[in-house]
Amino acid sequence: MIQRPKGCNDIYGREAKIWKYVESIIDATMEKYNYTYIRTPIFESTELFHRGIGESTDIVTKETYDFVDRGGRNMTLRPEGTAGVCRSYVENKMYGDPNQPVKVYYNGTMYRYERPQSGRDRELTQFGMEVLGSDDSLTDAEVISLAVNIYKMLGLKEIKVNINSLGDKESRDHYREALVQYFKPHIQDLCEDCQARLEKNPLRILDCKVDKDNPLLKNAPKIIDYLNDESKERFDKVKEYLDLLQVKYEVDPNVVRGLDYYNHTVFEIEAKVAGFGANNVLGGGGRYNHLCSEIGGPETPCIGFASGIGRLVRALELEEIKLPIVDSIDLFLMYVNEDEKKYAAYLSQELRMAGFIVDTEYTGRSLKAQFKQADRLNAKFIAVLNSEDLNNNEIKIKNNKTKQEEIISLDVLIYYLDEQLNTGVEEEYDNFFFEKDECHCEDDHHDCDCGNDCHCHHDK
């Protein structure tokens, strides 16, 4: 039997519905912040990622899927989204658009050849956002706030933002010298990768997964102590805006991120999720003011964020967060003979085009088996097509919850379903909030008659 590739997953059934719901929340939130969707190729020139992400990063040295196409060109399956967005920004001359900054978001598959484990796949889906063309500290705070709000809208509660500043080039150069002097006498105590990083990019040593618990890393100099006045002032401004947006954060000098293109603000967002273990990070990002010029474009200040959707869905499952997933259909059409089947096909089409979720029988089941199929599909209503009723321009419809049956005119079927289903939707929506939320009544009354705008879970 042919099996899926190692480190890849099939997403289907209810899990696929959860993914689509999460994506719908992302789309809706991005729209509120006036971010537009961007789609870039799944594979790009290998040079883009080597120049953009950095030759010394684990992604480039160990994890990229590289291949030579039939034209002899070196290509790479994208391992992350930022480099492709910057390439598109430069190639399409978006920097010439008077509407600046350019605010975009993406949602797509990335590929990294690494050892598959919980939360790490070789094919992963990421959503992310990029703001290109603004060096304002407010954009840093807005990107962080937007990411936090998406997590909160999905129901995650204990969200923590860890932020740091890598400073400007002057600050990083001074810090780099301090790290080299610190690590050089003890470099043999670190892994081979870190030994190679000492001269190429010593900041990468701080992000090493092998030596992360080594006291050398824990006691290493902190970049925040090497920031010049301009970088300190900028970082203070970011924190001021985060306070204004009511985003809770902690300054963590150990946040350096794993890509070479970052400068100034870097951040990670984690959630306290039971079952995630020590690594609760859901996503992260930072500012990269030189990436566009590195790949041949103008100097452009940018900031971005990315998060894995698979890991986010896993967090929602572990937290047992109830999502308003549509796991039912509006109507199941049943029939016995061929003429009724033809009408079922016609009526299904008409009702679907009117906006209803409709299904019917396709495998030749008996009427009894069709009733069972309707139950498996959680059909809200069932209609048994009967030739005699159809000749009278009527249809027998049954509420599958109350078991009440009615014979109505086919002319009013759409209006009937619309009225009945809208009432049901309101009830389900109310129940969803009553079950999910705790009482927010100021005087803690549990009968919900206090007049407050309360969504408590207690019975009215």
Considering the chain, what is the average pLDDT of its residues? 87
What's the pLDDT tens digit per position in 266-315? 999 999 888 776 678 899 999 999 999 999 999 999 999 999 999 999 99
- Residue 195's Cβ-count burial label (10 Å; 0-12, 13-18, 19+) is middle
Q: What is the pLDDT of residue 292?
A: 94
Question: The domain 13-168+228-318: what is its CATH number?
Answer: 3.30.930.10
- Fold adopted by 329-436: Rossmann fold (3.40.50)
Return the percentage of the chain with pLDDT > 90, whole number: 65
Question: What's the rounded Cα separation, in Å, for the pair 16 and 307?
Answer: 18
In 3D, which of 115, 220, 238, 110 has the Cα closest to residue 176? 220
- Residue 75 structure tokens: 């290509």
Average pLDDT (204-223) is 80
Cα→Cα distances 1→4, 26, 273, Å: 10, 37, 36
> What amino acid occupies position 347?
L
Q: Is the peptide bond before 101 cis (omega within 30 degrees of 0)?
A: yes
Q: Which residues of the chain are in CATH 3.40.50.800 domains?
A: 329-436
Q: pTM of the entire structure?
A: 0.83
Q: Is the predicted pLDDT of residue 263 greater than 50, yes or no? A: yes
Listed range (9-23, 213-227, 380-394) with the worst mean pLDDT: 213-227
**Mean pLDDT along residues 92-102:** 95
| Strands 379-384 and 394-399, bridge-based pairing | antiparallel
Report the sign of the C-alpha dihedral through residues 323, 324, 328, 329, in that order: negative
CB-based burial label for 142 (10 Å; 0-12, 13-18, 19+): buried
First vs last C-alpha separation in the chain: 56
pLDDT digits over 403-441, tens only? 999 999 999 999 999 999 986 544 444 444 333 344 444
Cα–Cα dist 166/232, whole Å: 10
Give the pLDDT of residue 424. Answer: 52
